[in-house]
Amino acid sequence: MFEFNRNKITPRIGSLPSRGLLLRGLLLMLCTLLVTGCGLSKTRADILLPGYKSVKHYLVFEDLSLPPGQLLIVGPTRGLNGFEEIKVGEPFRFSRKYDTRIYLVPVEFSTEAWNQESLQAWPSVIPPVSEINSVPLISSVAEVITNLCFDGVVDGQPVFGVVSQVKLDSLGQVVNPTTFLLIILLLVGVGLALCFYASRRLKAGPLQRQRSGENRRVESS
C-alpha cells in the first residue's frame, strides 16, 4: 500500500509529471495573461516594477478675486511661448525647468503681446509649489492637483497661497496613504493566519488528517 511521506515531496521518482497539475498551472498563467490584457490596459501591469514614471502636476484656482481690471497669465520664461489666461476652476500646468511664472496684467493688455519680453514689465511670481513630475513606478499616483488662492498684491507683487493638494490615480480616485496602510496591515494579518493554518495542516500530515476525518465521521454517525 502506498504511504505518503510528509518529508518527501517526490514519491514517484522517474514517473511522468502529472498532466492535470501541469495543465492547471499553465491554464492559471494563461488566465493571468488574459486578465492582464483585458483589465490592465490603463494600469501598471505588475507587481513590483523598477523605476520612475512621470506624473502631471496641475495648479488650479478654485476661487479668484482679482483686483478690478486685472487678470492672471501663466507662461514660461524659457523655451517656446505657451501663455494662457488663468481662469477659475481650470487647471493649468507649470514647470520648474522652463521657469513658469504667473503674471498679473491689466485686462487691456493685448493677447497678441503675450510673450516673454513684453511680460517682463509686469509683476510676476513663480507658483508657490514644488513641482512633482515623477514618482516611483509602483506608486498609484498619476496626477497631482494643487489648489491655489490669490492673497492679494503686496509691494506690487501678487501673492499666492496653497489651499490643498490632492494626488489622483489613473482612474481619477484620490490616493489615500492611510487607507493603503490599513490594507497593508489587513493583508499581513491575513497572510500570517494563512501561513499558520497551512503550516498546521502540513505538520499534521495525511494520516492524521485521515484519522481525524474518520473520527468526525464516526462522531456524526
Partner 1 sequence: MILYFVCFALTLAIEWGVLLIWVSLRGPSYRTFDLCLLLGGMNCITHPLAWWLLACGNPSFFFAYFGIEIAVVFVEACVLHRLGGLPGRSAFLLSLACNLASLLVGIPLLWFLSFI
Q: Write the CA distances from 161 to 63, 82, 117, 156, integer angstroms.
A: 12, 23, 26, 16
Smallest gap from Cβ 67 to partner 1, in A, equals 41
Smallest gap from Cβ 7 to partner 1, in A, equals 6
Residue corresponding to grid cell 494520516: 207
Q: For the residues of 144-175, what is the DSSP string, one character each?
A: EEEEEEEEEEETTEEEEEEEEEEEE-TTSPBP
| Contact (CB, 8 A) for 70 and 107 | yes
Residue (45 or 80) nearer to partner 1, CB: 45
Residue corresponding to grid cell 498563467: 29
Residue (13 or 218) nearer to partner 1, CB: 13
Residue (163 or 187) nearer to partner 1, CB: 187
| Contact (CB, 8 A) for 147 and 62 | yes
Smallest gap from Cβ 97 to partner 1, in A, equals 18
> Could you give the CA distance from residue 58 to residue 92 in angstroms, rounded to a whole number?
5
- Give the strand order in the sheet containing 56-63: 92-93, 56-63, 143-154, 157-168
Residue (70 or 139) nearer to partner 1, CB: 139
Residue (44 or 96) nearer to partner 1, CB: 44
Residue (32 or 157) nearer to partner 1, CB: 32
Smallest gap from Cβ 130 to partner 1, in A, equals 15
Amino acid at 166: V
Q: Using CB under 8 A as the criterion, which residues of the chain lie in contact with partner 1 when the complex forms? A: 4, 6-7, 9-13, 15, 17-22, 24-26, 28-29, 31-33, 35-36, 39-41, 43-52, 135-140, 169-171, 173, 175, 179-181, 183-184, 187-188, 190-199, 201-203, 206
Smallest gap from Cβ 50 to partner 1, in A, equals 4
Smallest gap from Cβ 114 to partner 1, in A, equals 35
